[in-house]
Amino acid sequence: MFMREWLFDYKTDFFEWSKIETVSHAQNSFWDKLFSKGDLVIKLEHGIEYPFDNINAPQKQADKILKYKTQFGLSATPDKPTTINDEKMAIIAEALSEVVKEYMDKKTSEKEDEYDDY
């Protein structure tokens, strides 16, 4: 995001496409509509807003931002959340318990070998 306020005064911010929640635009008067200018607001997660005043073709710019967001597979509606069901959790727990059992058996046998050496 590049925002110029005056000739030498500007600000650059970077954020991920997935962080964009809404893009809105407004044309506040007849003159805005006539000269195809208006305001654009990009709202990110946690209520962070980036307002742009008096830009050319605000609707076209908003559409372009949303098009790129969708094009990169980052639509506003999230896909199904990935969850671990009970069956998968049981498999993970069983595998983990086997690994822990092997580790404990190995540690126990190492200690027994140390005692046998004395």
- Pair (19, 48) in one structural domain: yes
- Pair (90, 62) in one structural domain: no
pLDDT at 76: 46
Residue 45 maps to a domain: yes
The mean of the pLDDT values for the chain is: 75
DSSP H or E segment with residue 41: strand 37-44
To the nearest 10°, the Cα dihedral for 53, 44, 3, 75?
A: -100
Query: Considering the entire predicted model, what is its pTM?
Result: 0.51
Of the listed ranges 58-62, 64-68, 110-114, the one predicted with least confidence: 110-114
**Could you tell me which residues come within 8 angstroms of residue 84 by beta carbon, excluding any fewer than 6 positions away?**
92
Residue 78 maps to a domain: no
Q: What is the pLDDT of residues 11-23, one digit of tens each?
A: 677 777 778 888 8
State which residues form the domain around 46: 2-71
DSSP notation for 49-94: EEEEEEEESHHHHHHHHHHHHHHTT--SS--PPP---HHHHHHHHH
Residue 77 maps to a domain: no
Q: Which CATH number belongs to the domain containing residue 23 in this structure?
A: 2.30.29
Q: What is the pLDDT of residues 40-55, one digit of tens each?
A: 888 888 888 888 888 8
- Pair (60, 117) in one structural domain: no
- Pair (8, 55) in one structural domain: yes
Give the HSE-up count for residue 29: Cα atoms under 13 Å, Cβ half-sphere.
Answer: 4
DSSP-derived secondary structure letter, 29: S
What's the pLDDT band for 30 if we cut at 50, 70, 90? very high
To the nearest 10°, the Cα dihedral for 66, 69, 73, 79?
A: -70
Number of independent structural domains in the chain: 2
